[in-house]
Structure 1
Amino acid sequence: MRYYIITLIIIILDQLTKWSVASSMKLYESKEVIPGFLSITSHRNSGAAWGILEGQMWLFYIVTVIVIGVIIYYMQLYKDSYPWLMVGFAFILGGAIGNFIDRVFLQEVIDFIDVMIFAYDFPIFNIADSALTVGVVLVIVMMLIDEMKNKGKNANE
């Protein structure tokens, strides 16, 4: 249950920040937070990351519903073990649902975190995108750790 609470916190934080930006800033308006590094920029995206598959909402609906189903299945399967894997799943679930809410109700995703990394203007993203990224990294790391443990066990047998 606690992992679903993490999911809920991510969804609420994502939706509140998006609402705050959408209601207080004009589209494409930008406010610099850390000069030369971080700005809050009101942006909309009707595609996936970096604007790919723009306007393909039907595809995002199908993929998101499948992802949500698979993540919930694995969260139930591993609920009594692998706490960091569960945190990764909770982040992925929260991020997927956060952007899904935007797609269903707005037909686009509200993005606003605008980062400049060594003169590279990274694509604008949001809390849901961040949660998805952190979740995927956690799941991959946990899978690699589990694989190394299993190889160590097999080598000792």
Structure 2
Amino acid sequence: MKLRNYYFWIAAIVNIGIDILSKRAIVTTLQVERTSIPLIPNIFHFTYIRNHGAAFSMLEGQPWLGWLSLLVSIFLVSLGIFKTFHTIWEQLGYGLILAGAVGNGIDRLFFGGSVVDFIDLRIINFAIFNWADISINVGILCLLIHNFIDRSPRASSH
């Protein structure tokens, strides 16, 4: 039996692993919230915080965010099993979004409803985020690329 949506599963598994390992390293190394390690001073730091909201701390303190992560994860796993994605962009996009939902969902389960954030880009004064957030955003970008390619004149001439 051939594995359906190979790149979907690879993207999901690899990025869930990176997310879990990176957060574990931060929690183990820094231990206390708001502790920061400057990798490039005033530009790029690892700063350990617990985010009780969604992306960029929106919807802070909403208990249903954990359930939303679970529902998105179940939906995407079902898609991966039962639907054939036709382009690598579609496979990568959905796989990366699954990785982000699972990664942040695991955090919510084990950290009392919060997620571990640590990537601190001070040069642009941006919200502190994590690998799962990167996975979700790159996944959305992949789906936009898929959508653009799928609607191009060349794609519709087949």
Q: TM-score range by the shorter chain?
A: 0.7 to 0.9
Q: What residue is the counterpart of 1:143 in the other structure?
A: 147
How much does 1:105 deviate?
1.3
Structure 2 gaps, min length 5: none
Q: Residue 77 in 1 paired to residue 122 in 2?
A: no
Q: What residue is the counterpart of 2:59 in the other structure?
A: 53
Identity over aligned residues, as a percent?
31
How much does 1:45 deviate?
0.3
Q: What residue is the counterpart of 1:34 in the other structure?
A: 40
How much does 1:82 deviate?
1.0
Q: Residue 130 in 1 paired to residue 134 in 2?
A: yes
Indicate the SS of the match to 1:114.
strand
Q: 1:11 to 1:152 in 2, by over 3 A?
A: closer
Give the structure-1-normalised TM-score: 0.86
Q: What residue is the counterpart of 2:16 in the other structure?
A: 11
> Structure 1: which amino acid aligns with 2:141?
V
> Residues 112-131 of structure 1 correspond to what in structure 2 (within 5 A)?
112-117=118-123, 120-131=124-135
Q: What residue is the counterpart of 1:108 in the other structure?
A: 114
Indicate the SS of the match to 1:53.
coil
Distance 2:10 2:154 in 1: 31
Structure 1 gaps, min length 5: none
RMSD: 2.0
How much does 1:67 deviate?
1.6
Distance 2:75 2:152 in 1: 24
Distance 2:75 2:147 in 1: 16
Q: What residue is the counterpart of 1:86 in the other structure?
A: 91
Distance 1:127 1:149 in 2: 35
Give the structure-2-normalised TM-score: 0.85
